[in-house]
Structure 1
Amino acid sequence: MELSYWEYKTWLSQVDFTVIGSGLVGLNCALRLKEKHPKSKILVLEKGSLPQGASTKNAGFACFGSISELVSDLNSHSEEEVVQLVQKRYEGIQLLRKLLGDTAIGFEQHGGHELFLKDGPKLFEACLSRMDELNKLLRPVFGDVPFVKTGNIFGFGKIQEQYITHQFEGQLDTGKMMKALLQKCFEAQIPILNGVEVKEIQEAGDKAHIIVDGFGFDSKQVFVATNGFASKLLKQETVKPARAQVLVTQPIKNLNIKGTFHFNEGFYYFRNIDDRILFGGGRNLDMKGEETMEFGETEIIQNSLEKLLNEVILPNQNIEIDRRWSGIMGVGTQKSPIVKQLSDSVYCGVRLGGMGVALGSLVGRELADLAK
């Protein structure tokens, strides 16, 4: 594609900072760069018409890790690492709320509840036995014990009669959140070019040369914030894509369920939104198959979601599905994000491990703070 003089001059010449990806991390990075370097020329590139990946496709959980997830994490991470992970997630949510305001993101705090299926009593017992330990570890983060036992007040089926509730978890409206972030960038006069997929980043002395479909341009520094798609540009970093499939029901009359809910070590999750139930997960049924950058749904996972919706979440009700979709997360063997300088001109903030809503604002800020 040939660029006109006007196109090149206005958007692509003398660029100080280029951010690749207009999701939570990318937009927070751009806003922080503008705050610290107000006279700089900043450009955000996005391959989709809307932010791709998970930022507009997630479930809107303001969560820090269910008890079974954290028990599992303690098997592969040190206590200090687990506390640091939870601390970062908590700080990230507070940063997001402070930046945009609770009304703008539809934030509500109804707690996060972990359900335990009746056919898996060992997991319930294991989590109960570690609850005091985790409360002691995490009390300094939240200022109180996060986990308490609560009864099955919403009438879910085929579960243990008690949940383990995280008192400080909340939920938000993902669409409102991203719209508010985009508005912030507009007000800060940060241009976002959609439909521009970066193919390669080349080092060019004291700058980087960015190659997209049909043209290239130079930028003094580049910030990669593409999370689940990071391996396309960052060959040396270990970030695997992980697809998450989601559905949402038609409106349900007299729906009284409020809060965010998890079961099966966080592999399944659901919540209320607009008198509907949003339900996602099932990646554990086909871990290898869901290690993909392709959007879409599969029969095995969608059938599982519908079965659990009808038997566990809303038993004995006639529920209709309104919409199905998928999002792409970035995961790895370690749950801590990768925020680092890769070369003289290139930086990355990726691998959010399915906790993008909680971590995105903080990772974006940390990424921008690496700029020279």
Structure 2
Amino acid sequence: MNLSYWEIKSWFTNIDYTIVGSGIVGLSCALRLKERFPKAHILVLEKGTLPQGASTKNAGFACFGSLSEILDDLTTHSKPEVFEIVKKRVEGLHLLRKTLGDKNINYLQYGGYELFSKDDTALFEQCLSQKEDINTFLKPLFNDDVFSLKENCFGFKNIQERSIFNPFEGQIDTGMMMKALLKKAQDKGIQILNNIMVEEYQEFQHSVSVKTNLLEFSTSKLLIATNGFASQLINEHVKPARAQVLITKPINNLHIKGTFHLDKGYYYFRNVDDRILFGGGRNLDFKGEETTSFEQTELIQNTLEHLLKTTILPNIPFEIEHRWSGIMGVGNQKKAIVKPLSNNVFCGVRLGGMGIAIGSIIGNDLAELIN
């Protein structure tokens, strides 16, 4: 692509900070950098027409972990580590709401429910037996009990008669959130360019040369916030994890309200605009879903539809209107990777499917790495 003198001068000259990825982390990082360095020239590059990955494709859960997930984390992490993980999510959600305002993200705190299938009796009983211990464990964060029992009041089938309820869980409108974040960044004078793919970079003593599919340019610092796509640019332990989602057409008199977790959180659904949004099923084919492809598979889509018919909306007719996929970044640890890679290159990646909860705070932490 042959750029004009004006294009090079206005968009690609004297750049202080270049951020790769215009999702929650990338834009939060840009906003914090602008706070710290008001006169800085900040450029955000996005490979998609819209933010790729998961920021505009997630289910809109403002959550910090179901009871079974926290118990599972305690088998692979220490108690202080799990407490810090949950604390980071809670603080991240508060930061997102404070930054954008509840109205601008349509934040609704209907609470969250963890459902257990008829076959999950052992897991359900384990959660019941440890519920009070976890409530005590989390009390310093919430000053109240987090988990309690609720009867099945939504007419779900093939599940245990009681669910575990969390009053602190909420939901947001993902599209409204990202539009508000983009507008805030643009209003601050942060440049955001779409459809530009960063292919590689080369570091020098005081700068980084960034090669894209359109041109090559120089920046003082490079910050990578591409989460599930991180391994395409940097050598860190981040695996892509595809999440497949579908949404129904509007359903008359929809009685379901809240966010719902099923099968250790591998399935999740919620109400939105008189519809049911339903996603998950990665556990049906972990290896196959370790991909950056945005396609859907028959195996998972058919399973989602089957669960809709037999468990979530039994005896309620529905039609599927849209299907899509998002790409998360996961690893063998729940803690995100936020660190310098060298003198002039930094990364904030591996959000583990908790981008809404921790994206803002990881973006801030990434910006704080700059001296």
Range class of TM-score, shorter chain: over 0.9
1:1-372 correspondence to structure 2 within 5 Å: 1-235=1-235, 237-372=236-371
Q: For residues 160-192 of structure 1, give each alpha carbon's deviation from its aligned partner in whole angstroms, at most 9, with x where no partner exists.
A: 111101110100000000000011011101110
Q: Could you tell me how far apart the structure 2 residues matched to 1:45 and 1:291 are?
A: 24
Matched position secondary structure for 1:38: coil
**Root mean square deviation, CA, Å:** 0.7
- Spell out, residue by residue over 1:311-348, the C-alpha distance to the aligned partner (whole angstroms, 9 max, x if none): 11011121100000000000000011001111000000
Deviates more, 1:139-148 or 1:81-90: 139-148
Give 1:2 shift.
2.2
Secondary structure of the 2:291 match is coil
Q: Deviations over 1:242-285 (max 9, x none)?
A: 00000000000000111100011110000000000000000000
User: Which AA in structure 2 matches 1:90?
Assistant: V
Range 116-125 or range 327-336, more displaced: 116-125
* In 1: Cα distance, 2:199 partner to 2:181 partner: 26
> CA deviation digits over 1:105-139, x for unaligned, max 9?
00000111000001211110111111111111111
**Deviation of 1:212 (Å):** 0.3
Quick one: which amino acid aligns to residue 112 of structure 2?
G
Q: CA–CA distance in 2 between the matches of 1:316 and 1:213?
A: 51
**SS at structure 2 position matched to 1:210:** strand
Instruction: Return the alpha-carbon distance in structure 2 between the equivalents of residues 130 and 301 of structure 1.
Output: 32
Question: CA–CA distance in 1 between the matches of 2:202 and 2:26?
Answer: 20
Per the normalisation by structure 2, the TM-score is: 0.99
One-letter amino acid of the structure 2 residue matched with residue 295 of structure 1: F
Q: CA deviation at 1:144?
A: 1.1
Report the secondary structure of 1:10's partner residue: helix
- SS of the residue corresponding to residue 58 of structure 1 reads coil
Whether the 8 Å contact between 2:196 and 2:214 is mirrored in structure 1 is: no
Task: Give the Cα separation in 1 of the matches to 2:182 and 2:291.
Answer: 27
> What runs of 5+ residues in structure 1 fail to find an aligned partner?
none
What is the SS of the residue equivalent to 1:231?
helix
Displacement of 1:3 after TM fit? 2.0
1:119 match: secondary structure? helix
Question: What letter matches 1:308 in structure 2?
Answer: L
Q: Distance in 1 between matches of 2:9 and 2:250?
A: 49
Post-superposition shift, 1:219? 0.6
Higher deviation after alignment, 314-323 or 175-184 = 314-323
User: Over residues 48-90 of structure 1, what are the superposed CA-to-partner deviations in whole Å (9 max), with x where a residue is unaligned?
Assistant: 0000000000000000001111111111011111110000000
Runs of 4+ that moved beyond 2 A: none
C-alpha distance in 2 between matches for 1:95 and 1:36: 17
Counterpart contact for 2:92–2:361, Cα < 8 Å: yes
2:254/2:275 contact within 8 Å kept? yes
Amino acid at match of 1:119: D
Distance across 1 between alignment mates of 2:92 and 2:291 = 27
C-alpha distance in structure 2 between counterparts of 1:311 and 1:187, whole Å: 48
Q: Secondary structure at the match of 2:119?
A: coil
Counterpart of 2:301 in 1: which secondary structure?
Answer: helix
Specify the SS of the correspondent of 1:107.
coil
Aligned residue pairs total 371
Letter in 1 for 2:169: E
In structure 2, C-alpha distance between the alignment counterparts of 1:120 and 1:92, rounded to whole Å: 31
Percent of paired sites with the same residue: 60
